[in-house]
A and B are shown apart, each in its own frame.
Chain A
Amino acid sequence: MAKRILLVDDDELILLSLQDLFAAAGLSVTTVGSGAEALRVAGAEPYDIVVLDVVMPGMSGLEVCRKLREIPAYARVPILLLTAKSEEADRRRGLEAGADSFLAKPFDPGRLVELVKESLPSA
């Protein structure tokens, strides 16, 4: 059974392209356009990995990350943050929020797929 991945980004283009990318990589992809929706969807059913955009209107990726960690089912689910910034401060804030890894935009799509596959718990 394919691993389930939840993609959260406010930009539709990113969501569609990443959906294509991860689908091609053999994952089952669910996309949501906001932090609030992401929490609702994640609460409804379990996902194997979550990819969050940090900069989003309303609830930021960091906040979504913190809230997910409060849900017991997501305590150990890998969370990957996509950020325009790759600075130390952002990295530290991300870790504090409970993220596992980071990738700065613009990123190499191949690298993202590798990172996601590495993070997935081996079946």
Chain B
Amino acid sequence: MRRFLRWKVRNQLAATFLAVLLPLLAAEVVAVEWLRTSLRASAERELTNVVDQLYRLCELQRAISPGGGPAGGGDAELLRAAFLNTRVGASGYAYCMDDSGRLIIHPAKEGQDISDSRDAAGFPFVRAICAEALRLHPGEAGTIRYPWRNPEIGEERDRTKILKFRYYAPWRWIIAAGSYEEEVYEDVARLGWYTAPLLAMSVLLLGTLTLVMNRLITRPLHRVSEAASRMAGGDSSAEADIGESGQEFSALAYSFNTMAAEIRGQKEELERLVEERTEALRESGERYRSLVQSTVDGIATADPKGTITFINRGLEEMLGYSKEETLGRRVWDFYPAGLDEARKIMALLREQGNLINYEMELIGKKGVVPVRTSASILRDRDGREQGTLAIFSDITAQKTLEADLRRAQAHLIQTMKLRALGDLVSGVAHEINNPLMASTTLLHVMDASACPAECPSRNRLHLLRRCNERIARIVDHLREFSRQTELRRELIDVNGPLESALLLSGQQLMNLQIAVERELASGLAPVLGDAGRLEQVFLDIIANARDAMERQENHKVLTIRTMPAALEGAPAVAAEISDTGPGIPADALGKIFEPFFTTKEAGKGTGLGLAIAHGILAEHGGDIDVPRTGPKGTTFRIVLPCAPAQ
């Protein structure tokens, strides 16, 4: 049943049609067959009746003339007429013969012995009749059928003859009546003629009905199905036109079309929405792109293997490399620490999930760029790593600022330190001064008093005076260092104090066989300053140069240069004093301007000379530094701002 339900409606209808038709046909065939049988039986009974009537006529004849044979009298003639006038169907007739096969009464062959007659098949049917008749019970009729052709009347085919016969024993007559079977069964045959068209008609009718039903049901269904297919194929305007159909189909089509309209509406709404969203997405994408591209920060993405997949304009400008030069390369190609840095970053990323304000460096076309980096791992919806995203801020300016700030801070600290130290030193110098004065005075008195040359204390007195002199020098230096008085400010040529410093040191330099080379520029712009103080600075630096070369065997050259320069963008004058000494040790270089720092042997220097020089230059708004130092010598450079133009 379930299988049947899955069939096409057309086939279901056909099957239903057959299911109805076949039993109907069978019933009709059975009915016709039954009718035929009964008709045939009735026809045969009629034949039997004819034989029976003739039999009773014979009995009547014998009763009328007992002992008489069939041949005598007028009554016999009556019996004879009865036989000859008996007609069965169109061509059937009755006859009688004796039991030896001689015809007694026969329409055509009376008196003939037909015992040897054979049917169309060659069977001696007369003998069979005779033999059969003798075996019949009284009152019983026999029947024989045999094929027969009567060539005398031009018959061309065999036809079955049916013969009913009885045996009238008193006369030993065989009474027979027969005819062609088809004539006997004429009604039966006629029945066939009538029923066949009837059957055909009913089959035709049922068939037509089925076809019509099929058409009525399946065609609208087909139309609806076709429209659905069209719609499925993308034709949203598809509608089921089923024309004039049953109410159910109209309802179905209506429902379908309503549904189709609904779907069409939804589809249009959907398309509108998609368009809207697409536009929004495009706008947001555009916004995002311009945001990413226009930001000054550098943005880059890399795949999980570290291959750069995207860089924005900001990063291109920051590094000086174009997209073409960066895409496809590995991120660590741009890290000064290379792969190690990349591994460190990835480890931090995996540990913390993201990286915020991580300071590092990137290799740009023009050098290393300090950057602050924020990075995160890119993941897809399932959480799988898709790569990394990093945002780089160029902190070059900040680094420069920080360095400046550090320098300014250091300078400030140095200044404050020096001031505090100055106060301290000033106090110490003052306190030392009086006892020193007393000591010196007493030594002067003792020396002045006549001390005999042989006096053993004379050398000791001399030694004591030297001690006092050194103390006095130190105190002097300390006082100079701590001096907090106003600077004399006048327009001077830097070459002036430099020349006088050289003049004052000249004898000492000569004694140590130090050659002096001067390259003093003429016509230098004047500076506003204290010539005496500047002379002190130059003296101190020349003394340092001298001390540096003191132990050298040869090539002792002191070079003095002056030249125009710039200080913080403003015009300035520079003086450079170079020696050919062994240079300042690297660990000492940072401390040479600190007070009390000295590399000289005890008693040779107070460690205050350069600190004082630094202080004096600071007061002048100038600067002192060591641009060059090494095994070939040291250069001190002093820069003083030019006086503002009057």
Contact = CB atoms under 8 A, between A and B. Distances in A.
Interface of A: 11, 13-14, 16-18, 20-21, 24, 84, 87, 105-110, 112
A105 B445 contact: no
B441 A84 contact: no
Contact of B433 (A16, A17, A24, A84): A84
Contacts of A21: 441-442, 444-445
B451 interface: no
A24 B438 CA distance: 15
Given A106-B472, A106-B475, A110-B444, A14 B485 contact: no
A107 B442 CA distance: 13
Nearest to A12: B438
A66 to B, nearest CB: 24
A107 B448 contact: no
Contacts of B485: 87
Contacts of A87: 485
A11 B445 CA distance: 19
Interface string B443-462: 01100110000000000000
Nearest to B468: A106
Contacts of A20: 441-442, 445
Nearest to B442: A17
B436 interface: yes
Chain B interface residue bracket vs A: 10 to 19
A11 B434 CA distance: 7
Interface in B445-491: 445, 448-449, 472, 475-476, 485
| Residue of B433, B434, B435, B441 with most partner-chain A CB within 10 A | B441
A14 B430 contact: no
A106 B474 CA distance: 12
A106 B479 CA distance: 11
Given A87-B485, A106-B440, A106-B472, A14 B445 contact: no
- Which 10 pairs show the lowest CB-CB distances between chains A and B? A109-B444, A13-B438, A17-B441, A17-B438, A109-B441, A11-B434, A17-B442, A20-B445, A24-B445, A21-B441
Contacts, number: 50
Given A13-B434, A14-B441, 13 more contacts: A13-B437, A16-B438, A17-B439, A18-B441, A21-B442, A21-B445, A87-B485, A106-B437, A106-B472, A106-B476, A108-B444, A109-B440, A109-B445
Nearest to A111: B444
10 contacts: A11-B434, A13-B438, A20-B445, A21-B445, A24-B449, A87-B485, A106-B440, A107-B437, A109-B440, A109-B441
Nearest to A9: B434
B436 A106 contact: yes
A105 B438 CA distance: 11
B438 to A, nearest CB: 4
A107 B448 CA distance: 16
Contacts of B442: 17, 20-21
Interface in B412-441: 430, 433-441
Given A20-B441, A20-B442, A14 B434 contact: yes
Nearest to A24: B445
Contacts of A108: 444
Contacts of B475: 106
A52 B300 CA distance: 82
Nearest to B433: A105
Contacts of A18: 441
Contacts of B435: 13
Contact of B438 (A11, A84, A110, A112): A11
A121 to B, nearest CB: 24
A49 B448 CA distance: 23
B536 to A, nearest CB: 16
A14 to B, nearest CB: 5
Contacts of A105: 433-434, 437
